[in-house]
Copies of this chain bind each other. A is one copy, B any other.
């Protein structure tokens, strides 16, 4: 393609709307344009990148025997009502939804478990048809609360999503393992530095899941890992051993005045104790999908923090106790929200595990008792310090027993850098930022059971299909590549997903030999399968060089002074090294470089 005939517009200044480098660069280099909040046009250069990523994804998926299809974006509400997700996704606001001219409710697909399960229910009858894996590459929709970072968190984005069906969990695990490998291949072939981590299954559901994180400072996720390479997890999911608790100095149980000691730090200072000797009691307000409000009192060791994702998972397990299906929101009960349900002001900062249920007003939508949970970190504590349920007073030397009942023990602790690894306590967890690019799930029968998608087993019994699901963010991957690979002058595309391999720059259009040589090279390279741009614009050489660096084409060929020696200058974008190469050897050299880079 000739730049003179392309929609080629670059900006010198950083656009005000962009915060992170990749977003700024994609806008400046003319890859994307914002059309609305979280909604972008992919311009021709970007579309080439997205097609290349898609092609890599397809090749890796097809190699596993998965079959490509395309499912509708408009989804009838009925299917989501069958799975129970319609109300929760609507209430959370994530699901774009509308009514058609007949007044029927429709959603714009953020994901396709319901649709594919309905297809499977219709078409899969027998174990003989299993296993089966269908995938698609498609634009998805999510009405994000805060769309940002360009394609990173958009409201319209391209994903590959795949769904596998199995007769048993062993078969699911086999496909899951293949997908783990396929995703590893996709990210490796795309030229990205990444880490596969254990992950929470979240709103999708299921038993096991891994995320594929592209490492970059702007990543929205935190990854905890050990340097031996044996453990890596999203902080939402991570487990680890907390530091050992210090032995408590208090040997007698008593109430102590602790004026204004309503933080762990102040309390430690006043009592001269270690934070590991304290049982902290954190009060949460949970709202379930049926509108039920439940007050959750979490006891956790003073030096630790609650992982709210783990907390939501624990609450989901007891949803049925409150005649609900799922948890909509969980938040710390603050002064303002307490006024909705508290019978009298709470002794915040001085709460004890035995906070009286009588503090809760009798109201139809409020559970009358606290749901009490004890994190594993407090189970073994002796002679601990904890709130006395009276302002400015704490218990010291307290122990679990008849007056302080140990609640149901759970793991809701937030693992953190510096914790000891569970698999080897000599390894300490390290932290890194990651961009979630892929997520694979062992779904199990959550959707098939809900939608009645069964098959006849070899024994002739009807059994729900065992499912897995697997997603890769195609448009997000493309931007993550830029986030991971750029410098002050612009993008440095990995060769495998660069929009073009090479750009031929004519420094001076008035020099006929430069133009002639460039035209010939441009044709020869393209004919040899090296995707090549020709900068034939009537611009100064400096502008052309700057633009080629900004848009990040891996190899720049300059038909300049060395033409007299039958040579051209070739500059590698990644490290800006320049070499002079005889024109006769150019095709072979570039082919070899490209082959090496994309292997």
Assess A67 versus B44: contact at CB under 8 Å? Given A33-B119, A75-B35: yes
Apart from A1-B67, A7-B129, A139-B139, what are 11 other A-B pairs with CB-CB below 8 Å? Answer: A7-B67, A35-B75, A36-B76, A36-B106, A41-B70, A42-B69, A42-B71, A47-B69, A47-B70, A74-B96, A100-B143
A41–B5 touching, CB < 8 Å: no
Q: Which of A95-135 contact B (CB under 8 A)?
A: 96-98, 100-102, 104, 106, 108, 115, 118-119, 122-124, 129, 132, 134
A72–B40 touching, CB < 8 Å: yes
Contacts of A5 on B, CB cut-off 8 Å?
A: 65, 132
6 cross-chain pairs, A with B, having the tightest CB-CB distances, nearest first: A98-B98, A44-B67, A36-B76, A93-B101, A42-B70, A39-B72
Assess A72 versus B35: contact at CB under 8 Å? Given A7-B67, A67-B44, A132-B7: yes
Assess A123 versus B70: contact at CB under 8 Å? Given A35-B76, A101-B93: no
Partner of A100, one of B46, B69, B96: B96
Contacts of A101 on B, CB cut-off 8 Å?
A: 93, 143, 145
Interface bits A64-86 vs B (CB < 8 Å: 1, else 0):
01011111111110010000000
Tell me the minimal C-beta distance from A40 to chain B in angstroms.
7
B41–A115 touching, CB < 8 Å: yes
Interface bits A19-46 vs B (CB < 8 Å: 1, else 0):
0000000000010010111011111101
Contacts of A44 on B, CB cut-off 8 Å?
A: 67-69, 134
Partner of A119, one of B37, B41, B68: B41
The answer to the question of A535 belonging to the interface, with a C-beta cut-off of 8 Å to chain B, is no
Instruction: List 24 A–B pairs whose Cβ atoms lie within 8 Å, in order of A's numbering.
Output: A5-B132, A7-B132, A35-B76, A35-B79, A36-B72, A36-B75, A36-B106, A37-B100, A37-B102, A39-B72, A40-B72, A42-B69, A42-B70, A44-B67, A44-B68, A44-B69, A44-B134, A46-B69, A50-B70, A72-B156, A74-B96, A74-B156, A96-B98, A98-B98
Q: Which of A459-514 contact B (CB under 8 A)?
A: none
Contacts of A1 on B, CB cut-off 8 Å?
A: 67
**In the assembly, what is the distance between CA of A136 and CA of B7, in Å?**
14
Tell me the minimal C-beta distance from A124 to chain B in angstroms.
8
B98–A69 touching, CB < 8 Å: no
Tell me the minimal C-beta distance from A28 to chain B in angstroms.
13
**In the assembly, what is the distance between CA of A104 and CA of B132, in Å?**
41
A33–B156 touching, CB < 8 Å: no
Q: How many copies does the complex hold?
A: 2
Tell me the minimal C-beta distance from A87 to chain B in angstroms.
16
The total of chain A residues at the interface (CB under 8 A) is: 57
Partner of A141, one of B35, B39, B70, B74: B74
Interface of A is mostly: mixed
Assess A37 versus B104: contact at CB under 8 Å? Given A44-B67, A44-B69, A139-B139: yes
Contacts of A46 on B, CB cut-off 8 Å?
A: 69
The answer to the question of A413 belonging to the interface, with a C-beta cut-off of 8 Å to chain B, is no
**In the assembly, what is the distance between CA of A531 and CA of B491, in Å?**
39
The answer to the question of A155 belonging to the interface, with a C-beta cut-off of 8 Å to chain B, is yes
**In the assembly, what is the distance between CA of A129 and CA of B30, in Å?**
14
Q: Which of A136-152 contact B (CB under 8 A)?
A: 136, 139, 141, 143, 145
The answer to the question of A9 belonging to the interface, with a C-beta cut-off of 8 Å to chain B, is yes
A118–B35 touching, CB < 8 Å: yes
Contacts of A76 on B, CB cut-off 8 Å?
A: 35-36, 39
The answer to the question of A564 belonging to the interface, with a C-beta cut-off of 8 Å to chain B, is no
The answer to the question of A16 belonging to the interface, with a C-beta cut-off of 8 Å to chain B, is no
The answer to the question of A528 belonging to the interface, with a C-beta cut-off of 8 Å to chain B, is no
Residue in B closest to A68 when the chains form the complex, CB atoms: B47
The answer to the question of A6 belonging to the interface, with a C-beta cut-off of 8 Å to chain B, is yes
Partner of A41, one of B37, B69, B93, B97: B69
Residue in B closest to A97 when the chains form the complex, CB atoms: B98
Contacts of A9 on B, CB cut-off 8 Å?
A: 123
Assess A74 versus B33: contact at CB under 8 Å? Given A47-B69, A67-B44, A134-B44: no
Assess A39 versus B74: contact at CB under 8 Å? Given A100-B143, A101-B93: yes
Tell me the minimal C-beta distance from A416 to chain B in angstroms.
33
B41–A73 touching, CB < 8 Å: no
Contacts of A134 on B, CB cut-off 8 Å?
A: 7, 44
Contacts of A100 on B, CB cut-off 8 Å?
A: 37, 96, 143, 155
B72–A43 touching, CB < 8 Å: no
Residue in B closest to A131 when the chains form the complex, CB atoms: B5
**In the assembly, what is the distance between CA of A97 and CA of B44, in Å?**
28
Tell me the minimal C-beta distance from A312 to chain B in angstroms.
21
**In the assembly, what is the distance between CA of A37 and CA of B72, in Å?**
11
Contacts of A118 on B, CB cut-off 8 Å?
A: 35
**In the assembly, what is the distance between CA of A122 and CA of B17, in Å?**
15
Contacts of A71 on B, CB cut-off 8 Å?
A: 35, 41-42
Contacts of A123 on B, CB cut-off 8 Å?
A: 7, 9, 30, 33
**In the assembly, what is the distance between CA of A73 and CA of B139, in Å?**
9
Interface bits A185-218 vs B (CB < 8 Å: 1, else 0):
0000000000000000000000000000000000
**In the assembly, what is the distance between CA of A435 and CA of B63, in Å?**
38
**In the assembly, what is the distance between CA of A485 and CA of B592, in Å?**
47
Residue in B closest to A138 when the chains form the complex, CB atoms: B139
Tell me the minimal C-beta distance from A372 to chain B in angstroms.
34
